[in-house]
Amino acid sequence: MIELYHCVSARSFRPLWMLEELAVPYRLHLLPFPPRAHARQYLEDNPLGTVPLMKDGATRMTESAAMCQYLAARHGDGQFDVAVDDADYGSYLNWLHMSDATLTFPQTLVLRYTHFEPAERRQPQVAADYARWFLARLRAVDTALQHSDFLCAGRFTAADVAVAYALQLAQHLGLDGQFPRAVADYWLRLQARPAFQSALRAQHRAALEQGVDPTPSPDLRPA
């Protein structure tokens, strides 16, 4: 059975939601955030200390967007991925990679220099600059959504799952009020998907069962 190591509403939400879309059985391991500080034994499984970690037989992955691609290709029967010979294949890969390299990355600086660093190390100017950078990068998403409900191939794919996490994180950072109209509507549409809602319920239930704080990781504040 696929095993997913997850912190509540961290990037590991991407493969969790993908698993729910695919209705593939999985075992969810909840970790307190950040695992490197609060679950030291996890470093034996993933020396980076980051989530997600996904195990599928001998396969072991630590990149959330790659997991979405892998799960869609391997378990989706063509429903959520885009075939190599499809005209939108390049676009599909581009969105998958953009989801973390371009859209989530600047937000991690906002989170870190607004909330996670001790007061004397906070950098409001850095946080403001990278929030602006993220919002500027959203122009690509806004443009793609002018003529379609989804990012590529004219249908919902793993690329939407990957990019949506950047919107989810932005909501936790209070940036969603600045989403362009088409992006705000897209984000609402995606949250209404039954699999998105069941992923939210699954992480909450697993956190309670496994004795982990169910507060979304981006909302946690170091003591």
Ligand X SMILES: N[C@@H](CCC(=O)N[C@@H](CS)C(=O)NCC(=O)O)C(=O)O
x/- mask, ligand X, residues 33-72, rule CB under 6 A, reads -x-x------------xxxx----------xxx-------
CA dist 196 and 107 (Å) reads 22
Number of other CB atoms surrounding residue 25 within 10 Å:
8
Least distance between ligand X and beta carbon 142 (Å): 22
Whichever of 13 and 182 has its CB closer to ligand X, that residue is 13
User: What is the smallest separation between the CB atom of 111 and ligand X, expressed in angstroms?
Assistant: 9
- Nearest Cα to 150, choosing from 179, 195, 189? 189
Residues 6+ apart with CB under 8 A from 73: 81
Query: Minimum distance between the CB of residue 124 and ligand X, rounded to whole angstroms?
Result: 22
Residues 121-150 that bind ligand X (CB under 6 A): none
- Whether residue 222 has a cis bond before it, omega within 30° of 0: no
Give CA–CA dist 148/91, Å, rounded: 14
Contacts for 88 with CB less than 8 Å, ≥ 6 apart: 82, 152, 153, 154
Q: Which is nearer to ligand X, 96 or 151 (CB)?
A: 96
Nearer to ligand X, 45 or 182 (CB): 45
10 contacts ligand X (rule: CB under 6 A): yes
Residues near ligand X (CB under 6 A) are: 10-11, 34, 36, 49-52, 63-65, 100
